[in-house]
Every structure is written in structure tokens, then in C-alpha cells.
Amino acid sequence: MIDVTTDKPLHVSTDGTAGPYIMVPVRQLETICRLLDDHGVRYWVEEDVISLDGTPEIAVVDLGREADPNHVQAILDSAR
């Protein structure tokens, strides 16, 4: 799946200690949540969104430590 603000593929990040996550433009959040729901992927969306220097707002979708980041990435890659 392509990030609508950067025209680059969305990716699952694995840095940090909280487990894998996806940074998603807020305007794509509903689509991502539906995609994850359709594939039975557990997640939660952080309450706060990020916007730096007037850029579009970004939400963080946490996948949890038990998530398989490669599986979730494959789901994102297969979505158009």
C-alpha cells in the first residue's frame, strides 16, 4: 500500500521496544484498520497524531510484540 502523502510504500517499523508499528497518514487510517481487521491482525491506534512543520497528520498503529512484522508487511504490500 502506498502512503498518499509521500507516494512511497507504507512499511512496518521494528525499531524501539514496544513492538512493530506502522506510521499512517490520518486520511488513510480507516483503510489500514479495515485491511488489518480483514486479515485478523490485532492492533491499536495511539490517541495522539503527529504533524511536524505543517505536514499532514500521521497516526501510529501499534501491532504489539507478538505481531509478525513480515506477515503484516506482506499484507501491506499486497494491498493496492
69-78 and 29-38 are packed helices; what angle lies between their axes, rounded to 10 degrees?
110
Q: Sorting pLDDT into bands at 50, 70 and 90, what band is 65?
A: confident
Instruction: Say how far apart CA 64 and CA 69 lie, in whole Å.
Output: 10
Q: Check whether 77 has a pLDDT greater than 90.
A: yes
Q: What is the pLDDT of residue 45?
A: 97
How much is the pTM? 0.91
Q: For the chain, list the domains and their CATH numbers.
A: 12-78 (3.30.70)
Check: CB of residue 43 under 8 Å from CB of residue 64.
yes
Residue 18: Cβ within 10 Å count: 12
Q: What angle do CA 7, 72, 3 make, to 5 degrees?
A: 10
Give percent above pLDDT 70 in the chain.
100
